[in-house]
Amino acid sequence: MAQAQLAGIDAAGRLRQSRRVMSDNAIVVKVLDGHRLTPAEALMLYRELSLPELGALADAVRQRKHPEPIVTYIVDRNINYTNICDVYCTFCAFMRETKDDDAYVLTKEQVGAKIWELVAIGGVQVLLQGGHHPKLGIEYYLDLLRYIRREFPQVNIHGFSPPEFCHFAEVFHMPVGEVLRQFKEAGLGSIPGGGAEILVEAVRKRIAPKKCTGRQWLDVMETAHRLGLRSSATMMFGHVETIEDRIEHLRLLRELQDRTGGFTAFIGWTFQPENTRLRAATVGAHEYLRTQALARIFLDNFPNVQSSWVTQGPAIGQIALKFGANDFGSVMMEENVVSSAGTTFRIDEATMQRLIRELGYEPHRRNNWYELLN
């Protein structure tokens, strides 16, 4: 990235320049002093501060939490074990019906072949997610988990989002807590935060009426945390929700984190509209950066915020490191869901390291628990 562009996103410098301008803003002072914001205060910040000012404030919070000049990333692979689904979310371009020619369910050997390729490049984690298959029984999943744990003990299984667990509970006729317990015993190591979308019911009813409710999503995560399974938390925004809905989503995540401390990171991304049935105009990089910055400021009990280069592209993903993010996400060997909606950004590890170094940070591989590996 050109130096002129980098100068435009020098958050710390902008904060110093803007401090006099913002010194009469009691909410900004409250953030800089390390105090928690109310939802109303978060909304005022979002509306009153310019993009550079909001980014600078988020970067100040990030530096307070992570004073070391390090940006982390993970080497993993997304494996979607099936694309068969009966939920019909309007924003999804990935799902297929059983009768479709390109519908599939992977065998454990097919999954294993993909993990061998991951291990060959030093990967440490596999992300397992799939559609809500109406007929797969619990033995398919337990057998798959046991196989991966046996054949690849060095690989963490980061798998099955809360909507999938709600689906499993219904199909298996089993409480969610028991499903989680059996999956953990079979080898599940942690849970991705997918399927959160926006946790406000009025929004969920418009974009995914057959998916689990926001309360169910939170309940699955709380149960998982109580069982010792840590997870990420996500937000998919830029469709039919309001700014107030986004802040309410963040409030619900923050309250659960207060109770359990089980979230490792927050990851936000924007709705990708191509090939979907959701009639909504998505938002661009400006709105993405503002929302990520606000999340870093508001989620004061979240240790990590992840940049979303997968939806925004490498350049905006890099800029996001000056808007509160301390993690660059994954060197993703495979991605099927977002790419089905028309977004197909790809970067290798060398490029990711270069993007991190260009901003003056040290790139470090990590595992799912944000422990440095190099």
Query: 58 is in which domain, residue-wise?
Result: 3-64
Is pLDDT at 7 greater than 90 in this prediction?
no
Per the structure, how many domains does the chain have? 2
Same domain assignment for residues 35 and 73:
no
How confident is the model over 60-107, as pLDDT tens digits? Answer: 999 999 999 999 999 999 999 887 876 555 545 556 666 666 678 899
Give residue 120's pLDDT: 93
Is residue 371 assigned to a domain?
A: no
Same domain assignment for residues 246 and 295:
yes
Return d(Cα 168, Cα 135) in angstroms, integer.
Answer: 10
Same domain assignment for residues 285 and 156:
yes
Is pLDDT at 128 greater than 80 in this prediction?
yes
Is pLDDT at 263 greater than 90 in this prediction?
yes
Is pLDDT at 22 greater than 70 in this prediction?
no
Is residue 97 assigned to a domain?
A: yes
Is pLDDT at 276 greater than 70 in this prediction?
no
Return d(Cα 335, Cα 340) in angstroms, integer.
Answer: 9
Collect all residues with Cβ–Cβ distance below 8 Å to 347 and sequence separation of at least 6: 309, 314, 331, 355
Give residue 371's pLDDT: 97
Is pLDDT at 201 greater than 50 in this prediction?
yes
**pLDDT-based confidence at residue 131 (cuts at 50, 70, 90):** confident
Give residue 332's pLDDT: 67
Same domain assignment for residues 74 and 51:
no
Token pair for residue 185? 């015993």
Please report, for the domain that includes residue 288, its CATH number.
3.20.20.70
User: Do residues 318 and 355 lie in contact, with contact meaning Cβ atoms separated by under 8 Å?
Assistant: yes
Question: pTM for this structure?
Answer: 0.88
Is residue 166 assigned to a domain?
A: yes
Same domain assignment for residues 262 and 198:
yes
Alpha carbon distances (Å) from 254 to 111, 258, 301, 344: 35, 6, 7, 31
| Ranges 243-257, 288-302, 319-333: which has the least confidence | 319-333
Is pLDDT at 57 greater than 50 in this prediction?
yes
- Average pLDDT estimate for 117-121: 93
Is pLDDT at 295 greater than 90 in this prediction?
yes
Collect all residues with Cβ–Cβ distance below 8 Å to 134 and sequence separation of at least 6: 84, 86, 98, 171
